[in-house]
Chain A
Amino acid sequence: MPDELIIYFTSSGLAFMFASWAVITALVVFCFRRLLKSGPKYDERAYEEGETPLSGREIHEEPND
């Protein structure tokens, strides 16, 4: 009866699963550590160093438009 087929992990399957989990988990940890280190509230950074956000009207007059 085919339903009785026993599926074992092959070594490549096991390695593939753990490698995938490890890479993705490491990426999440890396990203969020960097994010929390460098990411203040957007409001606190607003307009620092004299930055002037552009308005829609100004940009419509830019060469690229």
Chain B
Amino acid sequence: MNGREHWGTRLGLVLAMAGNAVGLGNFLRFPVQAASYGGGAFMIPYFIALILLGIPLMWVEWAMGRYGGVRGHGTTPGIFKLLWPGRLSKYLGILGIALPLLVVIYYVYIESWTLAYCFFSATGTYSGGDTEQFLESFLWGGGHAKAYLFFCVTIALNFFVVYRGISRGIEILAKIAMPTLFLFAIILVIRVVTLGAPDPTRPERHVLSGLAFLWNPDLKELANWGVWLAATGQVFFTLSIGFGVIQTYASYLREKDDVALSGLSTASTNEFAEVVLSGSLAIPLAFAFFGPIATRQIAESGAFNLGFVSLPLIFDRLPIGMLFGTLWFGLLFFAGITSSVALTQPAIAFLEDEFGWPRSKATIGVWSFIFLAVQPVILGRGFLDELDFWAGTAGVVLFAAIEIILFSWVFGMKKGWAEITRGADIKVPRIFYYILKYVTPVYLIGLLVGWISQQGKDVITLAGTPPEQLVWKWGARALILAVLVALAVLVASSKRLKGEE
């Protein structure tokens, strides 16, 4: 098949896709978002966004990827050109390479923390630190050489997996990491739900109350526009929609391979990890130890504090807490690495498909760039936040809006529907035809317009940013611009994308 790699097994592909989707966002970002936005009130728009945006876009991205792949294009510049032969299309597709590349720059750094903390938990290095101040200084202060060592190990592991290719690297990793991740998560959930009230003098701090905190719906919160925005953002982030990665993974399929059942399997596996497992872990645990007010404060202070400060503190108080801490950070590491290898695949496939580079050369080139680009993330804290906002939040919504308009309106929904249903092992309900054509584009455009009108000016002018972070935030913006310009030059110079080959 046109010299491109392909998946060895269907289960391997679904696990790799699920590995791409199940990431740090499931176990760190989801509980923080849910707790910050009223628990049960957050879950209502979350499920609505999942049905109207998440699952339909998952099918669209799978179908687009397969459509491009059988025609020799595994990334969105080439795929968009197939959908819309206009001059601009291949340049719009640049986002499908730039966004995952920019996200992996900070993602791999956070992933290295999980590896380090897994090691620290197993060796009991932070054991005995019984205050949040101790663990905050452990996380942010000193020990740079040790942290850098774990970062280098993480880069090396990622490089090794990606270098080995689709079926011998990424697929094998998914087959090992995903079942292990689920095993670790299930062990931790059993430990948490059987915890009861850990402090007998505080019976109100019970794990069940923590679950109630997360699930009791406060319908008044639904009038808050921010809840809808946050829930939609979480659905995008958790399913890895709008990153361009799903298209690349699906491009290694054959023309008649199913995408409907495989896409739904990916989404449901991800939701099981997020809603059932993750929802029963961090927040109920924090609630049982710290109570409702502190739990909300921890959640509002961000995912890092929950994952790397509060939970280690709790594990340290549990019998055989070292084991549970190791399982927690091991789980995060497996979730992270299956996503980070996926995030680099569009850039590698782009160099392979459009420039004929061998995989080894493309892998070395891409990972060398990542290694260099991570350095400012390590040095300046504002750099990471800025990359996360533009690439991991605003960029994915913009890219998803572009791709759904191209797919449903330019390529045409009739042809699009035929692509989604070709070779399908399940019957896709016809209502999704209309959801994809009307509801999803309107929802996404409304979201973008609403966000720009409410927060656009403050975000663009960096209002309220601490002065010491300004230089790093502008540095991040310069990097984003440089990546986009470099990719535009590459796209313009590719003979295959010009149709000259």
Distance, CA A5 to CA B9, complexed state (A): 52
The answer to whether A2 touches B85 (Cβ under 8 A) is no
The answer to whether A24 touches B272 (Cβ under 8 A) is yes
Given A12-B216, A31-B264, A56-B73, A21 and B10 contact (CB-CB distance below 8 Å): no
Distance, CA A41 to CA B13, complexed state (A): 10
Given A12-B217, A56-B2, A42 and B257 contact (CB-CB distance below 8 Å): yes
What DSSP secondary structure best describes chain B's contact surface?
helix
| Least CB distance, B93 to chain A, in whole angstroms | 14
The answer to whether A57 touches B501 (Cβ under 8 A) is yes
| Least CB distance, A22 to chain B, in whole angstroms | 10
Looking at B140-148, B204-212, B341-349, B385-393, the stretch in contact with chain A turns out to be B204-212
Q: Which of A2, A8, A43, A56 contacts B212 (CB 8 A)?
A: A8
The answer to whether B2 touches A10 (Cβ under 8 A) is no
The answer to whether B8 touches A43 (Cβ under 8 A) is yes
Q: How many residues of A contact B (CB 8 A)?
A: 44
| Least CB distance, A63 to chain B, in whole angstroms | 9
Given A31-B265, A31-B268, A53-B254, A24 and B212 contact (CB-CB distance below 8 Å): no
Is B160's beta carbon under 8 Å from chain A? Answer: no
Q: Which residues of chain A are within 8 angstroms of B43 by Cβ–Cβ distance?
A: 16, 20
Q: Which residues of chain B are within 8 angstroms of A36 by Cβ–Cβ distance?
A: 11
| Least CB distance, A29 to chain B, in whole angstroms | 9
Q: Which residues of chain A are within 8 angstroms of B127 by Cβ–Cβ distance?
A: none
Q: Which of A25, A57, A64 contacts B272 (CB 8 A)?
A: A25
What DSSP secondary structure best describes chain A's contact surface?
helix
Is B128's beta carbon under 8 Å from chain A? Answer: no
Q: Which of B7, B262, B271 contacts A35 (CB 8 A)?
A: B262
| Least CB distance, A23 to chain B, in whole angstroms | 9
Q: Which of A2, A14, A21, A40 contacts B275 (CB 8 A)?
A: A21
Q: Which residues of chain A are within 8 angstroms of B262 by Cβ–Cβ distance?
A: 35
Which of B280-306 touch A at CB < 8 Å? 291-294
| Least CB distance, A36 to chain B, in whole angstroms | 7
The answer to whether A8 touches B217 (Cβ under 8 A) is no
Q: Which residues of chain A are within 8 angstroms of B353 by Cβ–Cβ distance?
A: 56
CB closest chain-B residue, reference A18: B215
Residues of A within 8 A of B (CB): 2-10, 12-14, 16-17, 20-21, 24-25, 27-28, 31-32, 34-36, 38-43, 45-46, 51, 53-57, 59-60, 62, 64-65
Listed A/B pairs (14) with beta-carbon separation below 8 Å: A2-B293, A3-B291, A3-B293, A13-B215, A24-B276, A35-B262, A38-B425, A51-B254, A54-B70, A56-B496, A59-B82, A60-B71, A60-B499, A65-B82
Residues of B within 8 A of A (CB): 1-3, 6-11, 13-14, 40, 43, 47, 70-73, 81-82, 85, 204, 208-209, 211-217, 253-258, 261-262, 264-265, 268-269, 271-272, 275-276, 291-294, 353, 425-426, 496, 499, 501
